[in-house]
Amino acid sequence: MRRKLIAGNWKMNGLRAGGTALAGGLAEKANAETPICDFLVCPPAHLLIPVADAISGSPVALGGQDCHVNASGAHTGDLSAEMLADTGCSFVVLGHSERRADHGESNALVRTKSAAAERAGLTAIICVGETAEERKAGRALEVIEKQIRESLPESAEASLVVAYEPVWAIGTGLTATPGDVAEVHAQIRKLLIELFGNDTGNAIRILYGGSVKPANAAELMAVENVDGALVGGASLKLDDFWAIGRSCP
């Protein structure tokens, strides 16, 4: 069985006091009550070290929100995968739709970054998802298949994670129906098996993201091939984030 992963993407939110309090509160809950899932927090870069300190000794993992393709060099404002690992990260989110839209990140670039993550010993969470226009045109599965084939590394280990985040559901309050989620996740699973073989393809976790909250988490987590969630806004509220984790079957 694939153990559920509940990952919190804090995006560009949080200052030191609030961020460390949120992370510390999650660590306290996880230490007091053995979680039935894996918890991960991905804070903005300036909080990586204080959050690492706040969750130290707990089962909560730390992740970055992006990485550069190179290990070092003249790349002002960037962080390498090795730098993330040096702060205590074990995961990194790559190819989020906001990175693809705001920074023009291509599938090819995401694939190169996934190689950088592997080089540094990080587990990549590679995001895919269609826009509202693409879904309305009936192209959702086509778009996602292209992203999967072109964004994922040519070879993969079971630690790789794929996150399906329909762009139209991120931060909008809209959520894909369980039927829509089941259809997309089944297609992703089929592609993973085709690309990496039965054992690895079946072991890779597929997360759903897009306005996940306590009210809909249990229904979404019960869908076949949904192995957890990539949570945005609700991950900034301790009780909501914990409740999403507790909703895992």
Torsion of CA 164, 168, 172, 174, to 10 degrees: -80
Q: Please report, for residues 38, 176, 232, 234, the alpha-carbon distance to residue 41 in angstroms, rounded to integers and kept in the order given.
A: 10, 23, 10, 12
From 118, 134, 165, 185, the catalytic residue: 165
Amino acid at 65: Q
- Say if CB 6 and CB 229 are below 8 A apart: yes
From 68, 96, 98, 185, the catalytic residue: 96
In sequence order, the β-bridge partners of residue 164 are 128, 208
| Side-chain-facing half-sphere of 63: CA atoms under 13 Å | 28
Closest to 83 measured CA to CA, from 45, 27, 54, 112:
45
Inter-axis angle of helices 178-196 and 140-151, to 10 degrees? Answer: 30
96 catalytic? Reply is yes
Residue 173 class from Cβ within 10 Å (0-12 exposed, 13-18 middle, 19+ buried)?
exposed
Q: With b meaning 16 or more CB within 10 Å and e meaning fewer, what string describes 68-88?
A: bbeeeeeeeeebbbbbbbebb
75 catalytic? Reply is no
Torsion of CA 158, 160, 166, 172, to 10 degrees: 120
* Catalytic residue set: 96, 165
